Amino acid sequence: MKTILQFAQAARERRGLVMVTAYDALMARLVAASAADAILVGDSLAMVAHGFPSTIHATVEMMAMHVAAVRRGASDMLVVADLPFLAVRRGIAAATDAAGTLMQAGATAVKLEGVAGHADVIAHLVQSGIPVMGHLGLTPQTVHQLGGHRLQGRSVAEAERIRAEARELEARGAFAMVLECIPAALAATITAERAIPTIGIGAGAGTAGQVLVLSDLLGLDPRFQPRFARRYLEGDSLVREAIDRFARDVRAAEFPTGAEVLA
């Protein structure tokens, strides 16, 4: 899938939107050859690819480098790029510059967290021709204010706030929204109320689509196994076993041999 119009059409046809993260050209090529609809160059790359403790460490420059690599690996795919920490909080001009950098690096759309205090930025980006995906519920860039990565929208007041934010996002022109770590019933309510597609992560089965971080889906990090993320591969043990076999072959003088030895 290449465009936000195709994304909206697939949602209208209730095809079940599928988005996964990728941060480099190799993984982007694999995702592009799969049945996924869109790639998210998420600021989770600060943690997964750069080893930082939170997404707060992602910068526009870091994001742009990864977006460019992903675009080289997936030339025909809808690529959504996260606007990193504070990029939308320094005023419209700075946010437009940051979004422009990500679009020029190859993004089809940008994703940004929250609405309160930057609804005008969302409207300005949309009116500037930049498709915007929202992100509500657990917004990892505000992890310190939220007191950790925990379920959001449990109380009536919190649920009402998130519903109002979803309404505001749609009114400001967002083409879709991620709903992260909120009760399934709340996510289903928002999905029914809003015309734009909802993409869930830890938000139950009632959203228009689902997004997962690729390393969670592939089971690559045994230290991080969120309950809501299904492991479709035991990637950590498979990769480790392959490297162990390589090491064993080298030490037993069984690699390289035959055609692997260049004459």
Residues that bind ligand KIV in the complex, under the rule CB under 6 A: 21, 40, 42-44, 82, 178, 180, 201, 211, 213
Catalytically annotated residue among 113, 165, 170, 180: 180
Task: Provide, rounded to whole angstroms, the least separation between the CB of residue 18 and ligand KIV.
Answer: 13
Judged by beta carbon, residue 165 or residue 180, the one nearer ligand KIV is 180
Nearer to ligand KIV by Cβ, of 45 and 121: the residue is: 45
List, in sequence order, every residue forming a beta bridge with 137; answer none if it has no partner.
180
Contacts 24+ apart (CB under 8 A), 205-210: 207/179, 208/11, 208/14, 208/16, 208/17, 209/11, 209/16, 209/17, 209/18, 209/19, 209/37, 210/16, 210/17, 210/18, 210/19
Smallest distance from ligand KIV to CB 113, Å: 8
How far, in Å, CA of 233 to CA of 109, rounded? 29
Q: At what angle do helices 92-105 and 119-127 cross, to 10 degrees?
A: 50
- Whole-number Å distance between alpha carbons of 217 and 219: 6
Collapsed DSSP state (helix, strand, coil) of residue 46:
helix
Q: Judging by beta carbons within 10 Å of its beta carbon (0-12, 13-18, 19+), is residue 100 exposed, middle or buried?
A: middle
**Residue 136 · residue 186 · CB < 8 Å:** no
Smaller CB distance to ligand KIV: residue 73 or 202?
A: 202
In the complex, what is the shortest distance from the CB of residue 92 to ligand KIV, in angstroms, rounded to a whole number? 23
Residue nearest to ligand KIV (CB): 42
- What's the min distance (Å) between Cβ of 259 and ligand KIV? 41
Q: What residues pair up with 163 in beta bridges, in sequence order? A: none
Give the residue with the Cβ less far from ligand KIV, 45 or 95.
45
Q: Identify whether 180 is a catalytic site residue.
A: yes
Given the complex with ligand KIV, which of 110 and 159 has the nearer CB atom?
Answer: 110
Looking at the DSSP assignment, which residues form a beta bridge with residue 201?
180
Name the burial class of residue 145, with classes exposed (0-12), middle (13-18) and buried (19+) by CB atoms within 10 angstroms of its CB. Answer: exposed
Q: Smallest gap, in angstroms, from Cβ of residue 213 to ligand KIV? A: 5
Q: Which residues are catalytic?
A: 180
